[in-house]
Amino acid sequence: MKPSSFRRKKITSHFPPQKKMPLLKLLLTSLMLLIIHQTSITSSPLDLTQGFTPISLDNSNFVVQKPYNIPINQRYIFTNGVHQFWIYPSDKPFTNETNTQPRTEIRISGHDYTCGIWQFEGYGCIPSGTTGVCIMQVFGGSPYATTTQLRIYNGSLTYYESPVLSQNMYDRWFKVNVIHDVGANNVKVYVDGDLTYDGVGRGANTHYFKFGVYLQNDPSSCAESWWKDIKVLRK
Ligand X SMILES: *[C@@H]1O[C@H](CO)[C@@H](O)[C@H](O)[C@H]1NC(C)=O
With CA atoms as reference, report the closest residue to 82 among 233, 229, 231. Answer: 229
Query: Does 99 contact ligand X by CB under 6 A?
Result: no
Nearer to ligand X, 61 or 154 (CB): 154
Contact 85, 105 (CB under 8 A): yes
Query: Does 153 contact ligand X by CB under 6 A?
Result: yes
Pick the binder of ligand X from 49, 154, 186, 196 (CB under 6 A): 154
Nearer to ligand X, 29 or 154 (CB): 154
Query: Does 97 contact ligand X by CB under 6 A?
Result: yes
45-74 binders of ligand X (CB under 6 A): none
Query: Does 94 contact ligand X by CB under 6 A?
Result: no
Q: Count Cβ atoms below 10 Å from residue 20 Cβ, excluding itself.
A: 10
Least gap, CB of 190 to ligand X (angstroms) = 22
Least gap, CB of 90 to ligand X (angstroms) = 19
C-alpha distances (whole Å) from 7 to each of 45, 59, 78, 105, 115 are 28, 22, 11, 17, 38
Pick the binder of ligand X from 13, 42, 96, 206 (CB under 6 A): 96
Nearer to ligand X, 58 or 97 (CB): 97
Least gap, CB of 157 to ligand X (angstroms) = 11
Q: Which residues bind ligand X (CB under 6 A)?
A: 96-97, 153-154
